[in-house]
């Protein structure tokens, strides 16, 4: 990868073991490093900035990012899954 703050996709190392959704999220985050939003650098912060601060639609974001709306939906679904709390089993629960 280059030392410059501008990232060329051909300079980004890819791993066959890296799941496609994680790769896309990482590539989006890398590309925002050269054009920061001022709202943070994580995928969630970038997505919220585009949706809420810039009032972009899903169609607009998918066009800006060069991905299909269905892939954007997959990225959003995956992001929401990561926000889900880990399960805590209540062994004292009683059926009433």
Closest-CA residue to 35 (of 24, 25, 46): 46
Q: Are 50 and 61 in contact (CB under 8 A)?
A: yes
Q: Which ranges constitute the DSSP H helices of 10-86? A: 20-33, 43-48, 58-65, 69-83
Instruction: Tell me, yes or no, if the pTM score tops 0.75.
Output: no
Distance CA 27, CA 12 (A): 8
Residue range 35-76, pLDDT digits in tens: 999 999 999 999 999 999 999 999 999 999 999 999 999 999
């Amino acid at each position: 990868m280059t030392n410059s703050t501008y990232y060329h996709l051909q300079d980004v190392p890819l791993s066959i073991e890296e799941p496609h959704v994680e790769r896309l999220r990482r590539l989006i985050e890398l590309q925002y490093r050269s054009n920061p939003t001022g709202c943070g650098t994580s995928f969630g912060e970038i997505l919220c900035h585009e949706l809420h601060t810039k009032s972009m639609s899903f169609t607009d974001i998918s066009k800006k990012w060069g991905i299909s709306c269905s892939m954007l939906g997959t990225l959003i679904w995956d992001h929401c899954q990561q926000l889900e709390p880990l399960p805590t089993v209540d062994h004292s629960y009683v059926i009433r």
